[in-house]
Amino acid sequence: MRAYLLSRLAQTVLVVFLSLSAVFVMVRLSGDPVLLFMPMDIQAKDVNEFRERLGFNDPLPLQYARFVGGAARGDFGESLRYRRDALDLVLGRLPATLLLAATSWLLTMCVAVPLGVLSAVHRNTLLDHAGTVATVLGQATPGFWLGLMLIYVFSVKLRWLPTGGTGTPAHLVMPSIVLAAFFAARIARLTRSAVLDVLNEEYILTARAKGLGEARVIGKHTLRNSAIPIVTLAGLEAGQILGGAVITETIFAWPGLGRLTVQALLNRDFPIVIAAVFVISVTYTLINLAIDLLYAWLDPRVRLG
């Protein structure tokens, strides 16, 4: 178990290292970020001095070595715009994103899993069909459009909720619904098919034959056995929620990591972009590790290592 954990952590380090290198190469290929941060009437020698100070004049391998060395110490340089440590800025925005992601993940699980189970158990009833329509629509509706429409109805027309920003629980309502909608639809669909698969197994027939009540059959025998695909998808989605957060945070002016990343990309503030890539890929791989550990707990047949 310890060896397994160590090798997985080593893989995480490798993945993070490779993603950072890829971003470094792409950024260096894309042109000169220095010029964007200069006043229009600047002298050529000042540009050069600025470039010298930031190390853009050194040979590329040296720049790369310095970049890797800095990254290993958690130093991604200063934000070109805010003149503050890039990683600090990114980490400062992380709690807001995690709050949003956790709320919508919880919302997804509380709505989607029961909906999927109910649809499967009451297959081909009105409830099942209504659930299918809801999930198909949910999967097709882009989050940013849903967000705009919710703002129009609940902020512009009804004036119940704030259009954006943060501070009170009311600010959290629309962003977390928007972020949850797409994933909830996928999870509900998968839950339905996973539960249907298990309901066809012989051990369910046995459980019913020995006279167990329907609540025990579903609650104990079915749910635990259909959990594996659901957990897999929930884990993968947990990572994609970080991607969805980029859009949701921008619509609702939520001061999180995603919005910071979008702004940094628009401003070509690459130290922040690189620090954000670092934080996102670390979070993502750690979530996947947690999921794999959860498999072993859910299904004792799974051997880690």
Partner 1 sequence: MIHLKAWLGIGLTAAVVAAAVAAPWLSPHDPLATDFVASLRPPGAPGHPLGTDQLGRDLLARVLHGARLALLIGVCTVVITAVGGGALGLVAGFVERWPAAVLMRLADVQLSFPFILLAMTINAIVGLGLRNIILSLSAAGWVVYARVVRGEVLSVKQRDFVQAAAALGMSRVRLLLRHVLPNVAPSVIVVASLQFSSFIVAEAAISFLGFGVQPPTPAWGSMLSESRDFLYVAWWLAAFPGAALTLTALGVNLLGDWLRDTLDPKLRV
Q: Is 13 in the site for partner 1 (CB under 8 A)?
A: no
Q: Give yes or no for a contact between 239 and 136, defined as CB atoms under 8 angstroms apart.
A: no
Residues 6+ apart with CB under 8 A from 231: 291, 294, 295, 298
Task: Give me 39's structure tokens.
Answer: 């006043």
Site string for partner 1, 95-134 (x = CB under 8 A): -----------------------------x----x--x--
Q: Which stretch binds partner 1 (CB under 8 A): 14-22, 84-92, 109-117, 295-303?
A: 14-22
Q: Which stretch binds partner 1 (CB under 8 A): 11-19, 48-56, 85-93, 98-106?
A: 11-19
Instruction: Give the number of other CB atoms < 10 A from CB of residue 205.
Output: 12
Distance CA 204, CA 4 (A): 34
Task: Give me 86's structure tokens.
Answer: 């890039």
Q: Residue 207 Cβ, how far from partner 1 at the closest point, in Å?
A: 26
Q: Residue 131 Cβ, how far from partner 1 at the closest point, in Å?
A: 12
| H or E segment to which residue 109 belongs | helix 86-121
The secondary structure of residue 159, as a DSSP letter, is -
Distance CA 236, CA 242 (A): 11
Q: Is 9 in the site for partner 1 (CB under 8 A)?
A: no
Instruction: Give the number of other CB atoms < 10 A from CB of residue 161.
Output: 18
| Amino acid of residue 299 | D
Q: Is 151 in the site for partner 1 (CB under 8 A)?
A: yes
Q: Give yes or no for a contact between 195 and 120, defined as CB atoms under 8 angstroms apart.
A: yes
Q: How many chain residues touch partner 1 (CB under 8 A)? A: 48
Selected binder of partner 1 within 136, 170, 205, 302 (CB under 8 A): 136
Q: Which stretch binds partner 1 (CB under 8 A): 100-108, 138-146, 173-181, 198-206?
A: 138-146
Q: Give yes or no for a contact between 235 and 166, defined as CB atoms under 8 angstroms apart.
A: no
Give the dihedral sign, CA 153/156/159/161.
positive
What's the first-to-final CA gap in the chain, in angstroms?
7
- Is 54 or 253 the residue whose CB approaches partner 1 more closely? 253
Site string for partner 1, 231-270 (x = CB under 8 A): --------xx-xxx-xx--xx------x--xx--xx-x--
Q: Is 142 in the site for partner 1 (CB under 8 A)?
A: yes
- Is 187 or 277 the residue whose CB approaches partner 1 more closely? 277
Instruction: Write out the residues near partner 1 by the rule CB under 8 A.
Output: 15, 18-19, 22-23, 26-27, 29-30, 124, 129, 132, 136-137, 139-145, 148-149, 151-152, 156, 239-240, 242-244, 246-247, 250-251, 258, 261-262, 265-266, 268, 273, 277, 280-281, 284-285, 288
